[in-house]
Amino acid sequence: VWNYGKATLHNSFNNHEYPGKRISKLCLVNELDNNLLLVASSNGDVRAWKDYTIKCKQKFVTAFCSIHGGRGVSAVVDWQQQSDYMYASVGMSSTMVWNLNKEQLLSSVPLASACSISALAASQVHGGQFAAGFMDGSVRLYDIRTPKGFKRTTNIKNKVMNTLANNFNRRIRTPDSNNQRQNHRNMAEKLAPEKRHSFFHGSQKVFEWDQTLDEVNMYINLPTGVPTKLFYCKIQSKHVEVGIKGNPPYMNHDLYSPVKTDSSFWTIEDDILHITLQKRDKGQTWSSPIEGQGQLDPYAADVEQKRLMLQRFQEENPGFDFSQAQFSGNCPDPRTFMGGIRSD
């Protein structure tokens, strides 16, 4: 801890005793009154210190893991003073939103990207808004709209990244940069769900769905003329129920596999109910969100498993391009291959 104006060292101390975990973020919490030093590590662990400017008098306040089900070596964290929110994310899963004052997980925001997150920045002007940067060079803006729901506002990759690339290339000429960006785009398109699967009951479409390594997403078209506040969704570890209050449930089924209820949630936007189910077993290939119904045919299931396997390779090896990778013979299980998905 330095006095910048006088170029003098005030204090120095170890945040933890694990040399393999690097510090990824330093933030001041309540910087104008009894401030704390928030120290985030690359695996998602967060520690808070007080009296950190007094030599050998720093005091440990609290610590917790900000990442659920996706701990690794590239977690990104940022703090937002206006809202008391801390945002944390890793890989291609969701961004976890914490109330730091209560050390309480509020919810998780689906990143909706086929590439791993590489940077996270919370707005210091508008509470509840943050930006995320990804390995393919894209930048996405997110905004907390309701206490229960989150909404991705826009993807500004083309405008922002083209501007940054033009300014960068004025200083450093990189002949292959355009090819590299194109390769990243191709890779993202390859690994993202090509289309949503549809589940029909007779001739009526009940819902659409897709999946990533971490999540299963369900999309239900809502009837018009019904106030939004009357719709409800109950997510349990192995069950989901959707309906209109005061009426029999529209959907009341067991799930294909258990989910994490603390990081699963639902939102309503543009007359579509979007359910995000956080897989308990990351990397498991779901044949359908609903147990025993609407199963994918063998070919579609094989395509899904191959795509998730490539997503896993990409998440664990972000410096490589797997967009053209092919499997000879049967594709391994992305959940169990080579000892299972890496975790810290």
- Same domain, yes or no: 119 and 216: no
CA distances from 61 to 41, 53, 161, 213 (A): 16, 15, 40, 35
Is the same domain home to 150 and 219?
Answer: no
Q: Which two tokens stand for residue 71?
A: 């701990």
Q: What is the pLDDT of residue 83?
A: 77
Look at residue 251 in the predicted model and tell me its pLDDT. Answer: 94
Task: Enumerate residues 6+ apart whose C-beta is below 8 A from 240.
Answer: 218, 233, 234, 251, 252, 253, 255, 275, 277, 289
Asked whether residue 226 falls in the same domain as residue 331, the answer is: yes
248 lies in some domain: yes
Do 140 and 201 lie in a common domain? no
In a domain, 186, yes or no: no
Residue 66's pLDDT band (boundaries 50, 70, 90)?
A: confident
CA–CA gap between residue 194 and residue 192 (Å, rounded): 6
Q: How far apart are the first and last CA of the chain?
A: 29
Residue 267 lies inside a defined structural domain of this protein: yes
Q: Domain holding 299: CATH number?
A: 2.60.40.790
Return the residue matching tokens 């449930």. Answer: 249
Give yes or no: residues 9 and 134 share one domain: yes
- The pLDDT confidence band at residue 92, using thresholds 50, 70 and 90, is low
List pLDDT tens digits, range 202-260. Answer: 888 999 999 999 999 999 999 999 998 899 999 999 999 999 999 999 999 999 999 99
Does residue 170 lie within any of the structural domains? no
Burial class (CB in 10 A: 0-12, 13-18, 19+), 244: middle
Pick from 158, 189, 224: which residue ends a domain?
Answer: 158
The pLDDT confidence band at residue 112, using thresholds 50, 70 and 90, is: confident
Q: Looking at the structure, tell me whether residues 148 and 218 fall in a common domain.
A: no
DSSP 25-45: EEEEESTTSS-EEEEEETTSE
Contact indicator for 219, 207 with CB cutoff of 8 Å: yes
| Residue 243 burial (CB count, 10 A) | 16
Let me know: does 86 contact 80? Beta carbons within 8 Å.
yes
Q: How far apart are CA 219 and CA 197, in angstroms?
A: 10
Report yes or no on 52 lying in a domain: yes
Among candidate residues 214, 202, 294, the one with its CA nearest the CA of residue 255? 294
Selection from 120, 156, 126 nearest residue 139 by Cα: 156
- Within a domain: 189: no
Q: Does 295 or 162 have the greater pLDDT score?
A: 295
Same domain, 329 and 210: yes
Mean pLDDT over 122-141 rounds to 79
Residue 159, pLDDT score: 43
Specify whether 149 is located in the same domain as 206.
no
**What is the reported pLDDT for 190?**
62
Q: What pLDDT does 179 receive?
A: 57
3-state class of 208 per DSSP?
A: strand
Same domain? 121 vs 34: yes
- Choosing from 158, 177, 212, the residue where a domain stops is 158
- Per-residue pLDDT, 152: 46
Q: What is the dihedral of CA 14, 19, 22, 25, to 10 degrees?
A: -20
Could you give the angle at the alpha carbon of 62 between the alpha carbons of 52 and 110, nearest 5°? 115
Last residue of a domain, one of 128, 158, 188: 158
pTM of the predicted protein model:
0.49
pLDDT value at residue 170: 38
CATH number of the domain bearing residue 152: 2.130.10.10
Q: Which two tokens stand for residue 333?
A: 């299980």
195 vs 285, residue with greater confidence: 285
Indicate whether 144 and 17 sit together in one domain: yes
67 and 88 in contact (C-beta within 8 Å)? yes
282 — pLDDT class (breaks 50, 70, 90) = very high
Higher pLDDT, 233 or 338: 233
The pLDDT of residue 200 is above 70:
yes
Domain that holds residue 254: 197-336
Q: Residue 115 above 80 pLDDT?
A: no
178 within domain boundaries: no
Per-residue burial over 79-93, b = 16 or more CB atoms within 10 Å of its CB, e = otherwise? bbbebebbbbbbbbb
Mean pLDDT, residues 254-267 taken together: 93
Pair (151, 207) in one structural domain:
no
The angle, 0 to 180 degrees and rounded to 10, between the axes of the packed helices 157-171 and 177-191 is 160
Are 55 and 8 members of one domain? yes
Highest mean pLDDT among 169-173, 177-181, 318-322: 318-322
- Whether 93 contacts 102, CB under 8 Å: no
Q: Based on the structure, what is the number of domains in the chain? A: 2
pLDDT at position 205, please? 92
What pLDDT does 149 receive? 43
Residue 167: inside a domain: no
The overall average pLDDT reported for the chain is 79
pLDDT tier at 32 (50, 70, 90 boundaries)? low
Give the number of other CB atoms < 10 A from CB of residue 6.
8
Query: What pLDDT sits at residue 165?
Result: 39
